[in-house]
Amino acid sequence: MVPVQDGSNNTDRLLVPPQESNPTGSGSARSRQRQGSPARKLGMTRRQKDRKDFKDPEDPEETERKHKELELKPLYKELLYTIKHRLGKTNSSTQYTDTQLQEYIKEAFRMTDDEHKSLSEKVQSTERPIYSLKVTVKEAKGILGKDISGFSDPYCLLTIMHQGQEPKGGGVPSKPQKAVVKDSGQHGEVFQTDIKKQTLNPVWDQTFKLVFENITSGNFHLEMWDKDEEVSLAQKLDEFRTNFHGLKRMIKDAKKEKGTDDFLGNVVLKLQDLHCTEDRWFILQPRTETYPDRGQCHIQFKFIHKERDETLSAGRSAYVNYSGILQQFVQAHISKQQDSSPWKGDLCGEGTALLEHYAAQNDISPFLQDLAKWVAYSKLYQSLEVDSTVLFQQLTSIEYHWDQQELPYQQKQELGDSLHGFLQYGLCLVSKYRDIFPPTPKTTPRLHTLLRVLVQICKTRAFQKLNPAQFDLHDEVTDAVLNGTEEWFNIKKGLHQPMTKDLQETVSALSLLIREVQEDIRLSKDVWNRVFVSAVQLDVFTIVYQKLDSLLAVELRATLTQLENNMDQSLANSLFPVYLSLQTIHNNKAYLQKRGKLLQLTSFHEDFREALPYWLNKAFTTTLERVEKAVQVDQLKPLQTGSVPIKHSSSAVDLAACLQPICQLWEQLSWPDSEEGFMLMVKLTEDICKIASNYCRLLKARVKDLSETSDPGNAANRLCVVVNDLEHLRLVLNRLPQQLNWAGLRERTRNVIGETQFQNTLPSQLQHTQAVLNREIRSAVDTLGKKIHTDIESYVRRMATRHRLPSRSTEAAVDPLMRYLEEELQYMNENLVQENFNSLLTPLWTNSVKILHQVSQKEDSSVVYFQRLQFTLQCLEQCFHAEGNGLPLETLHTEEYKTLHNHLMLNSMTCQQLIEKFFERKVFEQKVCHGEKYGAVTLIASYKRSEQKLHVEVLNAVNLIPLDSNGSSDPFVQLSLEPKHVFPQVEARYTKIKNCDLNPLFEESFEFVVSLDQCQSSGACLLVTVLDHDTLRSDDFEGEAFLSLKAVPGVSGGGGPDPNPAQIRLPLLHPKPNSETTLKLLEARKGEREAQAFVRLRRQREKKSQEVQTTEMMKKLVV
């Protein structure tokens, strides 16, 4: 039996590294302080490479020929050799023939047919490699426990067996055979792993190289065994005590021979079914069905060339060849791309298959493959369009392999140089990010990925191990951005450098430079800052803003110094865009994250104080010229644009537009000094008021010019337009405090400007101008209303002429006035804005009320006359109110209107209506009377609807006035239903006389037969009169009371047909002489007997009341 060889974890080294010096020594270049630029800082941590002497440039064709001979052809032969002796399948889904692979490399290396044929013949004559299967047994899991303890001591046996070496008998032997590998030691090499004690999940991670001759006839065998060692009887009994369940296994162990290992499972694979590289779990197969589930084993395979012809590329390592092949394949692939998009790391299937075969045959580790890809891709990134994500992926792979495999010394140096070189190149790109990565959706993500690559490089343990010197990427990127910003600024400054020393050209050059800076700051805030913050946590906006702030401040003050004592209107106009751009730049400081540093442009407005008066003058003169031109071309006709007509003319619209730039000037200046800002606002407000006053003057002159050649109708139309224009200007001025933000200015200046000073300047200026406008508007409205006032008076007086009263109806008499008003008011409504139309309606209404009041004061006027006036007042009220579209009712119902309305209403009533009005008034006075100066009378009253009878019971009277000489009275009560024209058939009723009694008790009942309609008539009441009986002369008047019949139970709704009577106490009243308006109106109607009779009775009662009061007064005087 051939001795079993132990596996080894060591891989063949390409280059043995020399002893490394102590990296922390005091003399090491890696411990030096960092220099200023990124290139110098990076150079401190790496050795300077040997530089060859410069030679004269060779002919390009000769250079290409040498490159093909020395570089490409050796690689080409390596690939032909790889194709000829390739083993296993690739991991891709497509498998390629030798011809396909040869055609691919022929095109990729740009070889001619003759060159290909020549090189192929050379490869055919080379030595055949020694084929080997590199097997790494990594681990197993879930294996059987063969020992009494339930665990095993597993180890593996590995070998490759060819046909003829395996047990005879064909496919499946008649009897299961376990020790196939153990018993085949005489046929070939058998390798054994270490023995792992007492485990069911062993980990070996051991590698073996198994040489074979023919891949088609060879099979790979792996057997797993449990190592069985001889133990004493005492040890077995001790195991039995601790593990009772091991009894059965112990009995089985007793039967087998001592020192015989237990079979755990095997793996048998055909070599031709394996891939060139394979890494996966395999199920352990049983030899019997007793324990079918025997666990899994993790194995890694790789077909390698143990020995390979070294004449193909003499003096080169496999790693160097792999890197050269990779670069050639990538360049060929990129050159064949149809579009200009960056390469994303993919290769065609043939290239990928060849790289996989070459790496496997030469046993190039995944780490070295990723290193070669990183080096190749990072170099290609500097010359071709390569997507940064490709670099990021390779860095991630290098970081993954760093602790798993030790790199050879030469590759360590290459990796360190490559990482540092790319950092240097990346920082150079970052410094020029404005030009290389313009702010587009396509290029901005590329900058973000590049920054992530730089971050990932600095985070990798390879970079930290290979470059121990201090390196802060945040500081390096900051320096790159600062240097790039200064370089960019200087380039833009040179681009816009003035060609001459002309001051105007100097200002223009400064303006263009500041616009470039303004746009760059905007892009830094909106685009670049998100990229840098996301990738490297760097606030690039703050860095760029502060740098450009300092550079721009120097340039600004140098330019403005040249303008001192040379300022004029032209230069000031050119400086205004400069100021606005600086204002925009200064406003962006709100987005700064670090505000500890004082910005040099903080007080930039101070440099423009000399130009400020010129800016204000320019705004004023320009606006005034525009207003004058607008009035000159204005025809004073309403604008009829759109569905809603505009009632003012074109100049009013132009005026509002002309004033707007002055308001915008205040916003654009945003003068930071509060006291100077207040004076600036005073100047702007003064200019606006001057323009408004000048507009009024120009408008009046324009009306006069146009009216000279037009008829009176057109003159009235123009006057309406002028009124509307002035009203529009007034509204514009009313919005001025809000547009100019006076409230904000008041808050800013509260500590430097007193409230009195503030109010006496800004508001007073505006109020004065508004007062002038209001006077002009009122004057124009009065002019429009004068003619209408006169016409209304004429219509009213003609309508009320006495000789027209019998011949015309009231409606016919009022119709001319109403038609005239309708036409005039409709015209005014169509030609005046609502505010001016309302201002015209109010005096018209007031004047109309005065005219009607004057006409209504005629004496000896008939009822028809007042009815006509009353109807006229109603029509005028409806006309001026216009169903809510005209004057509101609150405005119409003035005190003069109420007085006139009441006067006309009373005079329009008939005699009977006035009498009813009189008694309604008396009933009201009775309700509001609370004292009992003249005593009181108590009644019980009710009305029975079924009988149509009013029942009244007089109970008593109290506190009567003594009217007889003996200090007492002889009272009785008179009951009468009023008005007489409502109760013509009802006579008065009287109680009995109670002699010498000031508190008489009557208790007498009376019934009046009256209908319900009579009781519910207007003014219907029960007149209760208390009299003092005198024998020799007429009865004296004690007092009277009025009870509304509507208040009697049974008259009003509810209560049933026979309601309960109500007891009512009524204070006695005395009439006041000449206090009743209705009596005066009745008294004026001399020709109506009923009126005169009623007045005569009431005057008599007033007279008796006066006598009683006189008597009482005399008694008090005597006392």
Model confidence band, residue 28 (pLDDT cutoffs 50, 70, 90): very low
| CA distance linking residue 829 with residue 647, whole number of Å | 10
Residue 536 tokens, joined: 């490297």
Residues of 977-1008 as b/e, b for ≥16 C-beta within 10 angstroms? bbbeebbeebeebebebbeeebebebebebeb
pLDDT at 1056: 64
Model confidence band, residue 9 (pLDDT cutoffs 50, 70, 90): very low
Cis ω for the linkage preceding 984 (within 30 of 0): no
State the greatest distance between any 2 C-alpha atoms of the chain, in Å, as a whole number.
Answer: 179
pLDDT of residue 940 exceeding 90, the answer is yes
Q: Phi, psi at residue 1024, to the nearest 5°?
A: -105, 115
pLDDT at 171: 42
Model confidence band, residue 386 (pLDDT cutoffs 50, 70, 90): confident
Q: Phi, psi at residue 208, to the nearest 5°?
A: -135, 150
Neighbours of 113 (CB within 10 A): 8
| CA distance linking residue 460 with residue 416, whole number of Å | 11
Label the pairing between strands 936-944 and 1062-1067: antiparallel
Q: Mean per-residue pLDDT for 1067-1094?
A: 83
Per residue in 314-325, pLDDT (tens digit) is 778 888 899 999
pLDDT at 807: 53
Structure letter (DSSP) for residue 1083: H
Question: How far is the first Cα of the chain from the last one, in angstroms, to the nearest whole number?
Answer: 168
pLDDT at 52: 41
H or E, element range at 1091 = helix 1089-1118
Nearest to 508 by CA among 552, 587, 570: 570
The sheet with strand 203-211 has its strands ordered as 203-211, 130-141, 296-307, 277-283
pLDDT of residue 279 exceeding 50, the answer is yes
Amino acid code (one letter) for 202: P
Q: Are 780 and 843 in contact (CB under 8 A)?
A: no
pLDDT at 331: 87
CA atoms 591, 595, 601, 604: torsion sign: positive
pLDDT of residue 186 exceeding 60, the answer is no
Bigger pLDDT: 534 or 244?
Answer: 534
| CA distance linking residue 22 with residue 1073, whole number of Å | 134
Rounded to two decimals, what is the model's pTM? Answer: 0.62
Instruction: Please report where in the chains the tokens 């299967």 appear, as a residue.
Output: 133
| CA distance linking residue 535 with residue 473, whole number of Å | 11
Residues of 184-205 as b/e, b for ≥16 C-beta within 10 angstroms? beeebbbbbbebbeeebebebe
pLDDT of residue 11 exceeding 70, the answer is no
**Number of residues assigned to the chain:** 1119
Per residue in 674-730, pLDDT (tens digit) is 888 899 999 999 999 999 999 999 988 888 888 777 666 677 778 888 888 888 888
Q: Phi, psi at residue 1022, to the nearest 5°?
A: -100, 115
Among 297-301, 369-373, 861-865, 930-934, the least confident range: 861-865
Q: Mean per-residue pLDDT for 409-429?
A: 90
Nearest to 276 by CA among 95, 435, 125, 111: 95
Structure letter (DSSP) for residue 52: P
If DSSP states are collapsed to H, E and C, what string results for 316-337?
Answer: CCHHHHHHHHHHHHHHHHHHCC
Model confidence band, residue 45 (pLDDT cutoffs 50, 70, 90): very low
Bigger pLDDT: 1116 or 979?
Answer: 979
- 3-class state of residue 1 by DSSP: coil
Supply the DSSP string of 478-495, one letter for each residue.
Answer: HHHHHHHHHHHHHHHHHH
| CA distance linking residue 106 with residue 95, whole number of Å | 18
Residue 783 tokens, joined: 């002019």
Among 11-20, 1035-1044, 1109-1118, the least confident range: 11-20
Alpha-carbon dihedral angle through residues 983, 987, 993, 994, given to the nearest 10 degrees? -20
Instruction: Please report where in the chains the tokens 């020192």 appear, as a residue.
Output: 259
pLDDT at 429: 93
- Report the share of the chain in percent with pLDDT over 90: 29
Nearest to 873 by CA among 812, 798, 818, 808: 818
Per residue in 952-985, pLDDT (tens digit) is 999 999 999 998 888 889 999 999 999 999 999 8
pLDDT at 550: 92
Q: Are 309 and 129 in contact (CB under 8 A)?
A: yes
Q: Phi, psi at residue 3, to the nearest 5°?
A: -60, 140
> Which of 25-34, 165-174, 514-523 tops mean pLDDT?
514-523
pLDDT at 148: 84
| CA distance linking residue 1073 with residue 520, whole number of Å | 97
Instruction: Tell me the β-bridge partners of 1040.
Output: 1025, 1069
Instruction: Please report where in the chains the tokens 């140098």 appear, as a residue.
Output: 558
| CA distance linking residue 100 with residue 105, whole number of Å | 9
**Percent composition of the chain: helix, strand, coil (DSSP 3-state, to 5):** 55, 15, 35
Q: Are 424 and 42 in contact (CB under 8 A)?
A: yes
Neighbours of 102 (CB within 10 A): 19
Neighbours of 6 (CB within 10 A): 10
Nearest to 922 by CA among 1101, 1109, 1073, 1070: 1070
CA atoms 763, 765, 768, 774: torsion sign: negative
pLDDT at 471: 79
| CA distance linking residue 509 with residue 709, whole number of Å | 56
Instruction: Please report where in the chains the tokens 């690039």 appear, as a residue.
Output: 540
Q: Phi, psi at residue 490, to the nearest 5°?
A: -65, -35
pLDDT at 174: 45
How does the average pLDDT of the chain come out, rounded? Answer: 83
pLDDT at 127: 87
| CA distance linking residue 548 with residue 585, whole number of Å | 10
Model confidence band, residue 29 (pLDDT cutoffs 50, 70, 90): very low
| CA distance linking residue 855 with residue 836, whole number of Å | 29
The residues, any chain, with a CB within 8 Å of residue 789's CB and separated by 6 or more, are: 843, 844, 847
Q: Are 1026 and 1101 in contact (CB under 8 A)?
A: no
pLDDT at 548: 92
Q: Are 1038 and 963 in contact (CB under 8 A)?
A: yes
pLDDT of residue 1005 exceeding 80, the answer is yes
- Report the share of the chain in percent with pLDDT over 70: 87
Per residue in 132-165, pLDDT (tens digit) is 999 999 999 999 988 888 899 999 999 998 876 6
pLDDT at 679: 92
